[in-house]
Chains A and B, each alone.
Chain A
Amino acid sequence: MELRARIPAGPIQQKWDTHRFEMKLVSPANKRKYDIIVVGSGLAGASASATLGELGYNVTCFCFQDSPRRAHSIAAQGGINAAKNYQNDGDSVYRLFYDTVKGGDFRSREANVYRLAEISTAIIDQCVAQGVPFAREYGGQLANRSFGGAQVSRTFYARGQTGQQLLLGAYQALAREVAEGTVKMYPWTELLDIVVVDGRARGIVVRDLVSGKISSHAAHAVVLATGGYANVFFLSTNAKGCNVTATWRAYKRGAAFANPCFTQIHPTCIPQAGGYQSKLTLMSESLRNDGRIWVPEKPGDNRPAAQIPESERDYYLERIYPSFGNLTPRDVASRRAREMVDSGRGIGQERNGVYLDFRDAIQRLGREAVAERYGNLFDMYRQITGENPYVVPMRIYPAPHYTMGGLWVDYNLMSTVPGLHVIGEANFSDHGANRLGASALMQGLADGYFILPYTIGDYLAQAKFDPVDESHAAFREVELQVEALTKRLLDVNGSSSVDTFHRELGRVMWDRCGMSRNESGLKEALAKIPEIRERFWRDVRVTGTGESLNQELERAGRVADFLEFAELICVDALDRNESCGGHFREEHQTDDGEAKRDDDRFAHVSVWEYTGRGNAPALHKEPLEFEYVQLAQRSYK
């Protein structure tokens, strides 16, 4: 497998401009002759579908939810970054680029990140024009706040519901194209496989989740916008439906998987409460603007927070990182929280959290101003825990949240399968080993509104297409395979529910391949996962039939894929014998416990190729070169 990143030549500031000029165009009259499939309707998928529709392509968009508006982007809380420098605080495209490369611990492509920073400003313009109700100052201008890993205020937000408002903007743009007839929407439809004909992605096989019917859809290009895989940990902040199925099945059809071990553990989530728990809830990073994180100085201090005097509190982030304080990047903040809990200074009944305290902010700004900024988050916290964060500090602990790894793509966002494009969280491209807060929304919309619509045209204009439709033998063949898999799941007829296996897998992944990893733990996980998988296929019980709405069957297919994919994460984590960003190998840390990279051996993207059932995946390396941001040990002190 040859990895051609297709990064344009020339100075970084001009690469995207040059490339846009050099790309081939499809003339307006020809666009409607091209069929494009978009899978997923989150920020990336909805914005791409809408924009491709506006351009005149013939688009079909699929989502497994009952409506495209429910994609998990909806749950993003804090905000979206853009290098507008509206605060006049020294921000610039270059600084956003620099912060993102550094925040990602030097494991992303400079050219991609620069393009992202460059486009960030147009995203805000676009969203405001669509009517997204961003927070504003009294003078009518847009408001900003700060996020982790940055010393400027460049985050735009809509209370604690930024993802919702941005997604509704994209959803409405999509709705308009559906009404125009340029996009045909298939809700309640799940991708089960990709169809490759003569080396090109030419369509997909899907299951109608209401009727159970399996069908094929042919096209000239396929775009996956199917999100991340944090649910491999079972408990995560992801929606229950988030899954790896689309990207995993694409991997098995030849799309290489990049950096699967780069997973992000978000520092501020509500700690786990019981064994029945079905998911973890995020408390937005924006809370770290005004909330102060602390634990009691003495281990085992059982007093309620209010009775612990100032002198016996350890505001450990402010202590260790005086210049970034509570706004250190996520990977750093998460590891430190874990360290506090592991050293016996955890708080709460289960001693499994740290405090996020708003006492000082409420004193300084008043309760009303705090409510204005974070009201809905405070309400959500109160509803879940039964505690009032205006009175007692929040309890928080890290949880799996986002995955930087994903299908490998070139500068044009195309995978190693020609015609198969991957956008948003589903690809690996921009965040390196750690994503900065408020950058996921930025990347999803950059890919969907402003990058893919250009680059896919270049592909379509240059490729020679044989006429292929759903009657082609390749489609029937894949349909039969998909039907056989469904039947196999239903036929096991064992004794344990799908969730039993998913929970077990999640525990192994969290313990052995979670916030920190080491060689022996990873080897243990690699022995354990096939064993769980084998038991799954022997003992899972999937009730109902394939020809109806069957949520157990949907889950079973997704968990079957997680059970295979989990192994690849561990293989990658074992191979990457260094620490970087969210990938913390205990064997490699500095004296003060920070991630220690090994740039001589690991300044590359690890790209894994499927080599057939039962075979070890093949590793390819895309070297990373840093011409503009000097490789350095990250410091937030």
Chain B
Amino acid sequence: MRIALHVWRQVNAGARGGFERYDVPGITEHMSFLEMLDVVNERLVEQGKEPIAFEHDCREGICGSCGMVINGEPHGPVRRVTACQLHMRSFADGDEIWLEPWRARAFPVLKDLVVDRSALDRIIQAGGYISVRAGSAPDANAILIPKRNADMAFDAATCIGCGACVAACPNGSAMLFSAAKIAHLAAIPQGEPERFRRAYQMVAQMDAEGFGSCTNHGACEVACPKEISIDFIATLNRDLVRAELGWGAER
């Protein structure tokens, strides 16, 4: 295969970026998308040019490191996969492919395709946990949880924190990310004591980080490589309203 890449190149956070075009011959359809980028980078290094900076680590679709907008879509054209799980067989010989970093106010670009997603960590720090000291837990089977609830909790907890939902959202909102954690912990009894405080504080942090609001656009769900359902945003909103009304524990 021979493809052409248009890649967003930006030296650092303060610099002005722009697209650069690379002609890429000698690609096979079995390569993963990131392996194709490895090949491009090796060729750049051999020419003494700086390779394209992009985040990646596990290359199995679970660590959430990788992420780039490929032809306008976060993680590219295939549903339910991360960029690292995308293969060149999803593209055709002669394709022109455009690569951009996540675009969102809360995710400043650091270099090329690398953005700063620490805002997501701060949302979790605001309340995305259950407070339990090591050593203080009762026997694991002392708390019975219906399979349905456990499965629902898992479906929400499967979020990998990649930020594709934010990149896909026209408002740059982190509602799906926050909702996934809030719904995970709201689905099980252990999460109950801090439930409303959690929703209130996480949403407040989301606002403080510069993420936009949710207008039920739904692009997040489509972009999510783990198929996190937009229904969880309803759970978040319900818990948020109850928190605002002073239900449950203190804010």
Contact = CB atoms under 8 A, between A and B. Distances in A.
Contacts of A185: 121
Given A383-B81, A384-B85, A497-B42, A175 B140 contact: no
Contact of A130 (B38, B62, B125, B130): B130
A210 B110 CA distance: 8
Nearest to A163: B62
B26 to A, nearest CB: 10
A449 interface: yes
B138 A133 contact: no
B57 A130 contact: no
Interface in B7-35: 11-12, 28, 30-32, 34-35
Contacts of A178: 121, 125
A171 B123 CA distance: 13
B74 to A, nearest CB: 17
B185 A67 contact: no
B130 A140 contact: no
A309 B135 CA distance: 55
Contact of B135 (A122, A124, A131): A122
A450 interface: yes
For chain B, give the interface size range.
Answer: 35 or more
B1 interface: no
A371 interface: no
Contacts of A124: 140
A125 B46 CA distance: 53
B63 A66 contact: no
A72 interface: yes
Given A74-B62, A276-B38, A453 B118 contact: no
Interface stretch (A46-54, A217-225, A398-406): A46-54
Contacts of B41: 497
Contacts of B35: 276-278
B245 interface: no
A549 B129 contact: no
B85 A383 contact: yes
B138 A239 contact: no
A213 interface: no
Nearest to B127: A179
Contacts of A278: 32, 34-35, 38, 59
A159 B154 contact: yes
Interface in A104-162: 122, 124-131, 133-142, 158-159, 161
Interface in B114-159: 114, 116-118, 120-121, 124-126, 128-141, 143-147, 150-151, 153-154, 157-158
A380 B30 contact: no
B55 interface: yes
A106 to B, nearest CB: 31
Contacts of A65: 57, 63, 65
A75 B57 CA distance: 10
Interface in A360-410: 379-380, 383-384, 386
Contact of B85 (A164, A210, A380): A380
A544 B9 CA distance: 14
Q: Which one of A54, A276, A379 has the greatest number of beta carbons of chain B within 10 Å?
A: A276
B46 A161 contact: no
A164 B154 CA distance: 11
A66 B117 contact: yes
B188 interface: yes
Contacts of B32: 278, 384
A515 to B, nearest CB: 22
Given A122-B135, A548-B12, A131 B185 contact: yes
Nearest to A139: B144
Given A136-B145, A278-B38, A548-B12, A75 B117 contact: no
A131 B59 contact: no
B244 interface: no
Contacts of A74: 58, 62-64
A172 B147 contact: no
Given A175-B125, A450-B135, A67 B87 contact: no
B57 A541 contact: no
A543 B62 contact: no
B56 interface: yes
Nearest to A73: B63
A139 B114 CA distance: 46
Contacts of A129: 130, 132, 136-138, 140, 143, 190
27 contacts: A67-B117, A69-B64, A70-B57, A70-B63, A70-B64, A72-B57, A75-B62, A125-B137, A131-B188, A140-B145, A140-B146, A141-B144, A164-B160, A165-B154, A172-B130, A179-B126, A276-B31, A276-B38, A279-B59, A281-B59, A282-B60, A380-B61, A386-B89, A449-B135, A450-B134, A541-B45, A541-B46
Interface of B: 11-12, 28, 30-32, 34-35, 38-39, 41-42, 44-46, 48-51, 53, 55-65, 80-81, 85, 87, 89, 110-111, 114, 116-118, 120-121, 124-126, 128-141, 143-147, 150-151, 153-154, 157-158, 160-161, 184-185, 188, 190-191
Given A133-B188, A541-B46, 14 more contacts: A47-B134, A69-B64, A125-B139, A131-B184, A142-B140, A142-B141, A175-B129, A274-B31, A383-B61, A450-B135, A496-B46, A497-B46, A543-B45, A543-B49
4 closest A-B pairs (Cβ-Cβ)? A140-B144, A172-B129, A129-B137, A125-B137
